[in-house]
Chain A
Amino acid sequence: MNMQFITIFRALLFILLALALCSVIFVIAGFSAVELFESIIDGAFLRNGAMKHALRWAAPLFITSIGVIISFRAGYFNIGAQGQFYIGAIFAAFTAEWLNGAPAFVVIPACFIAGATGGALWALWPGLLRLKSGADEVITTLMGNFLASLILIYVTGGPLKDPSGSGQQASSRPLDEAYRLGNSYELSPTIIMIALSLGLFMWVIANRTTFGVVSGLAGRNATMVEWQGTKLLRVGLASFLISGGLAGIAGTVELMGPNGRLAAGFLPAHGFTAILIALVANLSIAGAAIAALFFGGLASAALYIPVMSGLPASAIEIINAAIALFITAKSKFLDKLFSLGRAKWKK
């Protein structure tokens, strides 16, 4: 059987299993599962303009998830995409504030460079700790997420605080219209272009460069790569930096696109959904594009469900969590089923 087919089949099966589990939960909670799924599908893909909304959410998720894929492929479980996303957005916001008044063709690229740098820096220290002293990156990047959230609260309530802000949530001064890549009503073609070209670029990095092959081999068997003569430091650090940089770019996209300002605790589950996308896609960049659309659809449905059927928006979070549960919990039975497809060539 074709490996790609198995991968897709596997992902679909996990999602279906997750949805089945969710319907049981919803029915027990007293909702109609059928009605809920109808409104999710409607809200995610069928309703007028739903695809646009799905794409709006899918684009930044996709960018972050390819970063996650790069580090996971190299064998580093950087789960700090959320923190790197925040720090990237903060760096971009400071740059926009600092260059305020300069022409857009200067400010926008500068913000992207700053965002990528911020995200990369927030992945650099867990990377160094891991590669130099063996500190588990799962712990450090997770801690990094909490730190980044607190820094975001400080920044939005301190240095970048919008003095005219009257809302309860602290936020920064809105970006000048000239610097925006899109708004929250319309889908921005610029952002889609950025996501697609980053996807293509990273596909080349992962599949058509020495780094792609070597980091993939190191992720599966680091000992072998060491015996081939490489110290893992460079490949490892590059993976961390690329991973963080992409999350930082996603943060910049959110800031300069739909959000237009920094708000404390914005998109709190972004990084984790990106990890989910990477896993559902089985660390394939093309697969991540499709998976990002699916999860983007779910995110857009989350806004629609309460309006349509009076059901809670958190239903989407339950679905996400259930998918995560099935993707991460390796079932012996399923693995056996899939391994049937992997023919052996013993001679």
Chain B
Amino acid sequence: MVKSDNNIFECNNITVSFGSVHALQNVSVAFERGKIHAVVGQNGAGKTTFARVVAGLIQPSTGKILVNNKQMLGGDVKQARAAGVELVHQSFALPPSFTVAEAMQFGASNGKIYSRRGLEKFWQKHLDNLGVNVKSKQKIKDLPVETLQAVEIARALISDAKFLILDEPTAVLSPETTDKLFERVRQLKQSGVTIILVLHKLKEVLKIADTVTVLRGGKLVQSPISCENIDVKKLSAMIIGENASQNLANSNRAAPSVAIKPDTALDIKQLSTIKDVEGAALTDVNLTIAAGEIVGVAGIEGNGQRTLVRAIADMVGIKSGEIYLNDQNMTQMSHLERRSNGLRIIPFERNVEGLSLSSPLWENWSIRNYLQRPIFSLIKPKEDRKACNTNLKKWNVHYSNVDQLAGSLSGGNAQKVILSREMDDEAKLIIAAQPTRGLDIGATDFVWKSLRKARDNGCGILFISSDLDELFDISDRVIVFLSGQLVGEFMPPFDIKKIGAAMIEADL
């Protein structure tokens, strides 16, 4: 890399590893001063890790970082800040009960004594200068999300930041407020601040950025690419990877081995939900899964996949529409009743939603049966332990005894415990949400085989994954979610470019 005084930031051969996983591998990037640089990539491509390395939050295991041609230690926030680097996090870190002035002071505190009025006046001036329309007396919790972000950015600019990193700033914003944010970013650029934007949507990238940097699987694909010479099509091919689409064309994907039975496992009609606490609301979703079919759900995380699962599980309020399981209307049924009719869920977060880590294996395993009985019915722990033992053995779980705490198992084994609980013979519809996340190749393969086997036994399977290669390998059909809507349905052979484009709202 050529050294240039014009570069505010350079890094050479950065590698960051978490255990055996390389989050970043030999990444070398240089950013020119006074421009807006976008960083893009799929989930898990290493964008956030990269942002955190730049901000000095993570120490890379190898590599060199230069800010203003000055060598940084890496992993030292204070030093990075002193050099003018500030990071605005993906999720906001402002204390809700503070006033805006207090929150701002909290970041800048230097031990002096202030009066409340003095503080408010001081920070009001700072906010006014940046054009943030907020009263410094207001409580953080009363602010709408876009104002919150503006405050968060203003806070990052307290210390004369010359280099600002915004990690997925548009993820929480509506289209109108996104425009406002971009306006603000352009103003900052004019006042001489260099900005890195970590972004998902390619249209936004092309709208705002001067250059774009593409990461894939922790490796640098290309950087910097001038935004004038690229279009959405080329960019999405870079993000997803040409190789992936070629591999796929060559792989002889097994067609569904049994003829798809006429009966449906899941039928969702015109489903709209209220806004869920943890994701986009669904609008007018129509989805049918036949018995013996695997339907893959693609989409950038947070676009309604989680809400879909929670709606099928009766965990989020339904505004309108109907849900049928095995041709039976389940819209008014509770989660438990749906389960007794054959619904099974492998939840997103294995260690929180799937298992109680501080409880014994047999309790974790038996709970599904226990919940189908009256609340005070007698149990025979000895027999249930035995049944658990037999089943876990059948699923090849490595453990020493069923009284062992679930938290003592490795990720793959813990997932197998969940599979053995959720994939019994009575299962009719299995929802597998990110079932291979964080698993090694062996365990991943096991999960795939199990899902295929369940499919061949006539189960309908809804398979949610952020790994497109995996989705294409497993699914008989792929649907794409964007902002709570089903925006595309694809049959094999899957065209990765089309699906990728649908995920990021690009018109091809």
B230 within 8 A of A: no
Q: Are B376 and A210 in contact (CB under 8 A)?
A: yes
Assess the A214–B381 pair: CB atoms within 8 A: no
Quick one: given A229-B313, A345-B408, A347-B413, are A217 and B376 in contact (CB under 8 Å)? no
B277 at the interface (CB under 8 A from A): no
Known: A220-B358, A224-B353, A227-B354. A205 touches B376 (CB 8 A): yes
Give the contacting residue for B408; candidates A214, A221, A346; CB below 8 A: A346
User: Which A residues lie within 8 Å of B354 (CB)?
Assistant: 224, 227
How many interface residues does chain B have, given as a range? Answer: 35 or more
B contact residues around A205 at 8 Å (CB) = 376
Residue-wise, chain B 401-417 has the 8 Å CB interface mask toward A (1 for contact) of 00011001110010000
Is A346 a contact partner of B352 (Cβ separation < 8 A)?
A: no
Give A207 to B379 CA distance when docked, in angstroms: 9
In the complex the two chains form, is A210's CB within 8 Å of B377's CB?
yes
A238 located at the interface, meaning its Cβ lies under 8 Å from any Cβ of chain B in the complex: yes
Given A210-B379, A229-B334, A229-B335, check contact A346 B374 (CB 8 Å).
no
| Contact residues of A between 229 and 288, Cβ < 8 Å to B | 229-231, 234-235, 238
B381 contact from A207, A211, A346, Cβ within 8 A: A207
Partner of B404, one of A229, A231, A235, A345: A345
Provide the residues of chain A in CB contact with B381, threshold 8 Å: 207-208
Q: Are A225 and B367 touching (Cβ within 8 A)?
A: yes
Question: B353-397 interface mask toward A, CB cutoff 8 Å, 1 = contact, 0 = none?
Answer: 111111100011011101101111111110000000000000000
Q: Determine if B336 and A230 form an interchain contact, defined as CB atoms under 8 angstroms apart.
A: yes
Query: Which of the residues A208, A227, A228, A345 comes within 8 Å of B378, measured between beta carbons?
Result: A208
B120-149 CB contacts (< 8 Å) to partner A: none
Known: A208-B378, A221-B359, A235-B375. A345 touches B370 (CB 8 A): no
- Assembly CA distance A227 to B422 (angstroms): 12
A226 in the interface, Cβ–Cβ < 8 Å? Answer: yes
Decide: A213 near B400, CB < 8 A? Known: A207-B381, A220-B359, A345-B409. no
Q: Is the CB of A213 within 8 A of B367?
A: yes
Cα A223 to Cα B408 with chains together (Å)? 19
Q: Are B352 and A223 in contact (CB under 8 A)?
A: yes
Complex Cα distance A320/B377, Å?
Answer: 38
A213 and B410 CA atoms in complex are apart in Å by 24
Nearest chain A CB to B265 CB, angstrom units:
18
Q: How far is the CA of A272 from the CA of B359 in the complex (A)?
A: 27
B359, A216: Cβ atoms under 8 Å?
yes
Q: Roughly how many angstroms separate A217 CA and B400 CA in the complex, as a whole number?
A: 21
Chain A positions within 8 Å of B375 at CB level: 210-211, 214, 234-235, 238
| 29 A-B contacts (beta carbon < 8 Å) | A205-B376, A208-B379, A209-B378, A210-B376, A210-B379, A213-B363, A213-B367, A214-B367, A217-B363, A221-B352, A221-B355, A221-B357, A224-B354, A224-B356, A225-B356, A225-B367, A227-B315, A227-B354, A228-B367, A229-B313, A229-B336, A229-B339, A230-B336, A230-B371, A238-B376, A342-B408, A345-B404, A346-B409, A347-B398
Interface residues of B, Cβ cutoff 8 Å to A: 313-315, 334-336, 338-339, 345, 347, 352-359, 363-364, 366-368, 370-371, 373-381, 398-400, 404-405, 408-410, 413
Return the 7 tightest CB-CB contacts between A and B, nearest first.
A221-B356, A229-B335, A210-B370, A347-B398, A229-B336, A227-B353, A220-B358
Show the binding face of A for B, using Cβ within 8 Å: 204-205, 207-211, 213-214, 216-217, 220-221, 223-231, 234-235, 238, 342-347
9 additional contacts, CB 8 Å, given A230-B336, A238-B375?
A: A210-B373, A217-B356, A217-B363, A220-B357, A225-B367, A344-B408, A345-B398, A346-B408, A346-B410
